[in-house]
Structure 1
Amino acid sequence: MKNLSWHSKLVLALIVFLPIYFMIAALGTKVGLWGWVTGLVSMTFTAGPILLGIVAVIALISLIIGLVKKPRSKVTIGIALVGIVLPALMFTSFMSARSTAGENPIHDVATDTADPPAFSAETMAVREESGANPLSDYQTPLSEIEMYAGAAPELAIKSHAQIINDTYADLSPLPLGGASRADAVAAVAAAMGNMGFVDIRSDVEQGRVEGVAETFWYGFKDDVVARVGESEIDFRSVSRVGRSDLGANAKRIAELRGRVAEQIGQR
C-alpha cells in the first residue's frame, strides 16, 4: 500500500467508496433518514451514474499514467482496470433497471383485472396514512391518471387491465379444487409468512388474507391481498410508492400462487 502511487490510492479508495455509497442511499431510505425520492431517484438514479462516470474517468487517467510511466506497475494497472470495469458493470445494471421499468410500467397487479381483489378498510387507512399511491381503476386509460402524465402515447391509451393481460399473461387465479375456504385462507396466510410478509391478517368469513412485503435495501412496502372465492383464489399486489415496480408485484404473485397451490394440491 505504501508503494502505491497517489492516483492508484485514489482509485482504490473510490472503488471501496462506490458500494458503500449505494448501500448508504438504500439503507438510509429504509431506516427513514430520507425519503424514497431522495434515496432512489436523487442519490441512486440521478447522482449514481454521475459518480460512476467520475470514478471511471479517474481510473482511466490512472491507467494511462500507469502505462506511460516506467517502470510499469502491474498493481497500478490492475487497480485502474478494476476502477474502469466496476463502474461499467454497475452502469450496465442501471441501464438494465431502466429497461425493466419500461417493460413493467405499472405497480398494481392482480389476477382478476375485471374485478381486482379489494383491500380492507384497515389496509386502506394504513396506505393513506403512509402517503401511498392511490389505487387506480383498472379500466381507466393511463392518460387519465395523474401519475402517468407524460407517458408515451402507446402506453397512455392502455388501462391497467390491458397492460396486465399483455405483460403478465401467465398470471391466473388459483382453482380451489377440493380445498375449503378455511383451508385456503390458512394456506395463503402460511405462504405469506414463509415469504417473509409482515402484518398478515386473515378473515375467513370475508375470504380475505392480507400482508405486507418489504424490500431489503430500500424498505419499499407493497400491500398484498388474496381473495378466496367459491371456486378460486385471486391475488393482488400493489406498491405504496413509485410508478414502475420493475416487475416485482407480478413475480410476488406468481411465487405466492405457487406456494399456495402446493399446500392445497392444485396448479
Structure 2
Amino acid sequence: MTKAPWHSRFALILALLLPLYFALAALGTKFGLWGWRTGLLTLTIQTGPILMGVVALAALISLIVVLLRKPRKGWLVSLIALLVPVGIFAGLGHIRSQAADIPPIHDIATDTTVPPTFSQRVLDLRSETKANPLNDYSVPIGEFAMWADSPAPLAEQSHAQIIAASYPDLAPLPLGDTAPQDAIEAIVEAMDEMGFTEVTADPAAGRVEGVAETFWFGFKDDIVARVADGQIDFRSVSRVGMSDLGANAARIAALRDAVAARLNP
C-alpha cells in the first residue's frame, strides 16, 4: 500500500469509511441520537447509495489512472476500494429482491380471526411511543392510510388474507396434555432464552408479553402469546416501519418451536 499512488490510498480510505458510516447510522438510531426515520430513511436509504456511488466512482477513476500509467503500481488497492461499494450495492440489492416477495405488513398472528390482544400496559406504551396502530385484520389494508397507495391486488386484501397466503405454515401450538400454567411458564422461559425484554406473564388472562429489539437500529417489536381453548396463539407487531421484511413471522416460528420443545421434551 505504501507504493500505491495517493489517489489509490485515498479511494481505499473512503471505501473503508463506508461500513463505518452505515454502522453509525444504525447505532445512532439504536441509542437515540436521532429518530428512526433519520437513521433508516435519510442516512441509510437516501444518502447511503449516493455515498456508495461517489466512492465507487472515485475508486474506478483511480483504477483507470493506475492502469494507464506505468509502472501501474497500486492497481490492487484501487480495485479493493472499488469492490467495497460494489459489494455493499450487491448485498442491498439482494435484500431488496427478497423484500419484493414479502408482503409489506408488520403485524403477524397465528389466529387471524381473533388475534391475541395486548395488555393495556403495552397499548399505552405503544401510544406513548407513537407506534404503528393495531389495525383490524378483516379490513382491506388499502383502507388504512399507511397502505393507501398500494396497488389494487394488495390493497384489496386484509391482513388475515395476506398472512394466510404468505405464511401458510404459521399455526397455533396445541397444548395437548399440558396445563395452561405450565404452558405459560414454558413461554416465559422461551422468551427469556430468545433475548426478549420486559417479559411479563398474566396467568389469569392467559397472556405472556415481551419485546424483541434488533441489534443495529434497535427497532422494537411487541410480542404476545395467548393460552386459551387448548392452544397457544402468537402475535408479533413492529412499532415502526411499514414492512418487517418477514421478521415477525420468523420470530413467531422460532418462538413456537422453542415453546414446543419445552412442552414436548
1:134 positional shift? 0.5
Query: Following superposition of structure 1 onto structure 2, how do residues 220-231 of structure 1 map, counting pairs within 5 Å?
Result: 220-231=219-230
1:152 aligns with 2:189: no
Query: Following superposition of structure 1 onto structure 2, how do residues 1-267 of structure 1 map, counting pairs within 5 Å?
Result: 1-73=1-73, 76-102=74-100, 103-265=102-264
Q: Deviation per CA, 1:67-96: give whole Å up to 9, x if none.
A: 1110011xx211222222221221122223
Instruction: Look up the SS of the partner of 2:233 in the other structure.
Output: strand
Instruction: Look up the SS of the partner of 1:127 in the other structure.
Output: helix
Instruction: Look up the SS of the partner of 2:235 in the other structure.
Output: strand
Letter in 2 for 1:132: A
1:196 positional shift? 0.4
Q: 1:138 to 1:246 in 2, by over 3 A?
A: same
Unmatched runs of 5 consecutive residues or more in structure 1: none
Instruction: Look up the SS of the partner of 1:212 in the other structure.
Output: strand
Q: How many aligned residue pairs are there?
A: 264
Kept in 1, the 8 Å contact 2:15–2:82? The answer is no
Letter in 1 for 2:124: A
Question: What RMSD in Å do the two structures reach over aligned CA positions?
Answer: 1.1
Kept in 1, the 8 Å contact 2:4–2:77? The answer is no
TM-score by length of structure 1 reads 0.96
Mapped partners of 1:188, 1:71: distance in 2: 66
Q: Deviation per CA, 1:152-177: give whole Å up to 9, x if none.
A: 22211111111100111110000001
Instruction: Look up the SS of the partner of 1:263 in the other structure.
Output: helix
1:2 positional shift? 4.2
Mapped partners of 1:92, 1:160: distance in 2: 32
1:98 positional shift? 2.6
Mapped partners of 1:99, 1:148: distance in 2: 20
Letter in 1 for 2:8: S
1:104 positional shift? 2.9
Instruction: Look up the SS of the partner of 1:225 in the other structure.
Output: strand
Mapped partners of 1:230, 1:114: distance in 2: 14
Segment of structure 1 superposing worse, 257-266 or 180-189: 257-266
Segment of structure 1 superposing worse, 77-86 or 119-128: 77-86
Letter in 1 for 2:65: I
Letter in 2 for 1:153: A
Letter in 2 for 1:93: G
Letter in 1 for 2:92: F
Segment of structure 1 superposing worse, 2-11 or 23-32: 2-11
Letter in 2 for 1:256: L
Mapped partners of 1:129, 1:99: distance in 2: 34
Mapped partners of 1:129, 1:101: distance in 2: 29
Mapped partners of 1:155, 1:84: distance in 2: 39
Kept in 1, the 8 Å contact 2:12–2:59? The answer is no
Letter in 2 for 1:149: A
TM-score by length of structure 2 reads 0.97
Instruction: Look up the SS of the partner of 1:189 in the other structure.
Output: helix
Kept in 2, the 8 Å contact 1:67–1:77? The answer is yes
Kept in 1, the 8 Å contact 2:67–2:75? The answer is yes
Mapped partners of 2:234, 2:121: distance in 1: 18
